[in-house]
Amino acid sequence: MPVQLLKIVNGKPETPLPSHLQKEDLKHLQEGFGHTNKYFQGIVILYYPLTKLSDGRDFFKLVLQDMNNSCSRTDSINILIYGKMAEDCARVVRHGDTFVVAGFKLAKSPTVGEDGRHGCHLEVSEEAGSAIYSVAPKYAYTSLNHLKDGTIVNLYGVVKFFKPPYVSKGTDYCSVVTLVDPSNVKLTCTLFSGNLDSLPKIYKVGDIVRFHRIKIREYNGQMQGITSVGFASLTFDGTVGAPVVPRTSSKVYTFMDEEQKTVEELRVWAASNLSISGPAAKLSGVQPMLFFDLTCQLVGKAKVDGSSFLLKVWDGTKCPYPTWKVPVEARDLEGEKILLHQLRNLTVDVLVYDNHVQLAKSLKIGSFLRIYSIHTKQASAVDEDVSHIEFHLHGGTCYGRGIGVLPESNPDVKELKAFLESVELADSQNMESMSSVELDGTFNNVTVLTDHQDLNNTELKTILNSMAPQQYRIRAKLRTYKPQKLYQSIKLHCSKCKSLQEVPDGDGFDFILQGSAITAPNAELQNTSWYDSVMWTTQDEKQRKIVIHFVKHDEMLQQPEDTLLMIEGGTLKEVWKLTKIFKCVIPVRSTEDDLELLDLSAPFLLQGNIKYYGCKQCSTPKPIKSLSSIAAEQRPSWEPTEIAQVLGIELLQYVFIMKFTLIDGTGALNAYLFDYEKFFQIPASEILSNNFLQQKMQMTMNTLCPPGRKLDDLPWLECFIKSYNVRDGMKHQVYYQIFDTTVAEDVV
């Protein structure tokens, strides 16, 4: 009989022990007494590794302590377990468990002189008709709003976010899991384990987990969960009505009606309180420039180079765009050659990078995967007329980017398997032509709406042969555009000196912040008539001093969402976090007389996701106290333009700069797009920090210039262009610019 699990409710086992058994105290365990119908119950205080005896039988020794009077060593007794029972016991035993031992043989302990324990030991084995019960402890679960720093707790939660286990920079796998529960409090847990199996098997947002023995710590002002010794987890599908079957690596766990009820309640709560995304994207539904989770089967894999690795996968559907094929040496490609060939029109190449390579290498051909936050990117090779779609799993683990292996028992895998089996391989050969027919039917009559409907269309040939400047309405096709990487189209423009510059990256800002943190805050510049200041020192070895100055209005602090604050000594992350809470953040440093702005390579102001920059050439920064004039206004709106003005900053504007190559059969010309917001109806300032808007912009471009389309099949579009002269010394050239044009709503 294997080790059985008993649950004690109100001091009595829920499933009773056999009725003939009676509890025996330690002091009554003596040679010469009959113990046939007696059991002994104690707490596991020590156990030894499972060993084999000379006769080949397994042997396991553990020490139980009498719970009633547990202070001296003589209150503990050695339990010797033989045969299969030894193995069973070794597998489930944990320090602190309560064990019940029945049907034992009592014998004189030969080690009493060394260990000072009870004079006898108990011998048990299956053959002797013994039984061992592990008494399930009564677990208490803490709701997420009652977590306290430094405690070790048990809890339930619904997965709101997760990173599938990945190889950490240390020795373990790491998985980050954010939970919520009906208290509406979030808890982000960082889970480590050297054993992939002992991390929770979470497959999607909405899954429900039960964590045992998770340590709670405070980190950055928030509670954080972290694995502690004995951490164990159960994971459940979060779908209401689905069978309540725990996914776990634990050999033994408590799971009874009470727990089942908790899971079902959490499912119901999550169904109406948590947004769980709809059905997962299929290859047939991909759009360029999207991040999505792909559930698929691995058909082939190959090494590419040190930092990237190729996975060939399919999900039975056909991607509507031409997809890229990553060139690899045939001998490096692992997988069934025949299948790879048969599925060549249905598989897509996914290139995984950096930290994902190690995991990707270990994947087994044929296994079912969920690739999280895979990126579809539109690109065109130099020698290609039409662009194609690339699938990337970029480095890093942001947004849960990673690879998870799904078991065959997973409902999504079952569904996928059934679908894959139904795909007639022969059909896929015909599908190529089919999808292009479908495409042609769907969007061929794209137009771009223009403001001046009174103008007639002019042929491009006529425009090219005319003097500048003039304005035209044209009907043309977008042959190609630059930059193809749309994020590169965003620049900063100074309306005063007309200069254009690249948007600085975060690293530069970080560097400037680090540099400014060296300047010690000047105590005299704290707590003035128009702002309140708070200063503290970080706990780490750097002992960094951070000061936040909250600007007041009418001598009162405002609501966070209306508040402008200035920060000294903050890191990039801290600044970023503050922008989530407060309306405006201005990084500053102390001088002798006033606070001052940092180098203008850094944003002088952050509002929400937007970083505002000043022109280095045209700005003459004024002392920070100039801001007090805005603070004194009736209702300070904290407009970036106004803040820039009082601080003597020439505000740089975010613009889209693109080059459109237009054709209409009579000629071709390049027209520039210089636009703040009108063309795409997306503010250029927001595009870099808003992935949704980036996708929207990419989709607009895909409609205007569909990837993978031949010249004849490109849609017509109408827009306004104006010609203008540019003279550079002796050189004279005519340029064209798109103006007063907005992409029609129904196009986007």
Contact residues toward DNA (CB under 7 A) are 160-161, 163, 168-172, 174, 176, 178, 186, 188, 190, 192, 217, 219-220, 222, 224, 226-227, 229, 289, 291, 307-308, 353-354, 373, 375, 377, 392, 394-401, 485, 487, 688, 691, 694
As measured in angstroms, the least distance from the Cβ of 416 to DNA is 22
Distance in Å, CB of 304 to DNA, minimum: 10
> What is the closest distance, in whole angstroms, from the C-beta atom of residue 45 to DNA in the complex?
16
Q: Would you say 18 or 506 has its CB closer to DNA? A: 506
Q: Would you state the structure tokens that stand for residue 283, as one six-digit string? A: 């290859």
Q: Checking DSSP bridges between strand 333-334 and strand 290-305, what pairing results, if any? A: antiparallel
Q: What does the alpha-carbon distance between residue 190 and residue 200 come to, in Å, rounded to a whole number?
A: 11
Q: Are the C-beta atoms of residues 378 and 288 closer than 8 Å to each other? A: yes
Q: Decide whether 160 or 549 has the Cβ nearer to DNA.
A: 160
497 token code pair? 């000196």
Distance separating alpha carbons of residues 161 and 177, to the nearest angstrom: 6
The nearest distance, CB 499 to DNA, in angstroms, is 23
Q: Which is nearer to DNA, 173 or 531 (CB)?
A: 173
Note the Cα 415 to chain centre separation in Å: 25
Q: How many CB atoms lie within 10 A of CB 433?
A: 9
Whose tokens are 């040679």? That residue is 31
User: Considering beta carbons, is residue 164 or 316 the nearer one to DNA?
Assistant: 164
Residue 402 φ then ψ, to 5°: 165, -175
307 vs 617 by CB, closer to DNA: 307
Q: Which is nearer to DNA, 433 or 543 (CB)?
A: 543
DSSP per position, 249-272? --SS----HHHHHHHHHHHHHHHH
d(CA 317, CA 423): 8
CB of 688 to DNA, least distance (A): 7
Residues 73 and 93: their CA atoms lie apart, in Å, by 21
Shortest CB 208 distance to DNA, Å: 16
Asked whether the beta carbons of 685 and 654 are under 8 A apart, the reply is: yes
| Nearest partner of 238 among 181, 308, 192, judged by Cα | 181
Contact (Cβ atoms closer than 8 angstroms) between residue 335 and residue 344:
no
Q: Compute the distance between CA of residue 476 and CA of residue 457 in angstroms, rounded to an integer.
A: 10
Query: Closest CB to DNA among 458 and 607?
Result: 607
Tokens representing residue 625 in the block: 């106290």
Angle CA 668–377–403, to nearest 5: 175
Instruction: State which residue, 313 or 460, has the beta carbon closest to DNA.
Output: 313
Q: Which is nearer to DNA, 169 or 727 (CB)?
A: 169
Task: Check if the beta carbon of residue 567 is closer than 8 Å to that of residue 587.
Answer: yes
Q: Which residues contact 47 (CB under 8 A, 6 or more apart)?
A: 60, 61, 62, 63, 90, 93, 95
CA–CA separation, 339 and 356 (whole Å): 25
Cα gap 294→204, rounded to integer Å: 12
CB of 190 or CB of 342, closer to DNA: 190
Q: Which is nearer to DNA, 185 or 431 (CB)?
A: 185
CB 480, min distance to DNA, A = 18
Comparison of 34 and 327: residue with beta carbon closer to DNA: 327
Q: Tell me how far, at minimum, the Cβ of 371 lies from DNA, in Å.
A: 11
Q: Provide the minimum distance between the beta carbon of 689 and DNA in the complex, in angstroms, as a whole number.
A: 7
List all residues 6 or more positions away from 622 whose beta carbon is below 8 Å from its beta carbon. Answer: 646, 647, 648
End-to-end CA distance of the chain: 67
Closer by beta carbon to DNA, 576 or else 716: 576
Q: How far is the CB of 612 from DNA (least distance, A)?
A: 18
* Shortest Å distance, C-beta 176 to DNA: 5
CB of 696 to DNA, least distance (A): 13
What is the rounded distance in angstroms from the CA atom of residue 215 to the CA atom of residue 227?
6
Q: Which residues pair with 307 in a beta bridge?
A: none
- CB of residue 244 vs DNA: minimum separation in angstroms? 25
Q: Tokens 């040939």 correspond to what residue? A: 461
CB of 168 to DNA, least distance (A): 4
C-alpha to C-alpha distance for 241 and 264, rounded to whole angstroms: 8
Is the CB of 382 or the CB of 730 nearer to DNA? 382
Pick between residue 80 and residue 159 the one whose CB is nearest to DNA.
Answer: 159
Spatial distance between the Cα atoms of 613 and 490, rounded to a whole number of angstroms: 14
DSSP for 699-713 reads: HHHHHHS-TT--GGG
When the beta carbons of 333 and 693 are compared against DNA, the nearer one is: 693
Residue 175 CB, shortest distance to DNA, in Å, is 9
Q: Burial level of 299, CB count in 10 A (0-12/13-18/19+)? A: buried
In angstroms, the CA 551 to CA 554 distance is: 10
Helix or strand holding residue 646 (H, E):
helix 640-646
Please, which residues have CB within 8 angstroms of residue 647's CB and are 6 or more apart in sequence? 597, 604, 614, 621, 622, 624, 626, 627
| Partners of residue 597 on adjacent β-strands | 588
Closest CB 188 distance from DNA, rounded Å: 4
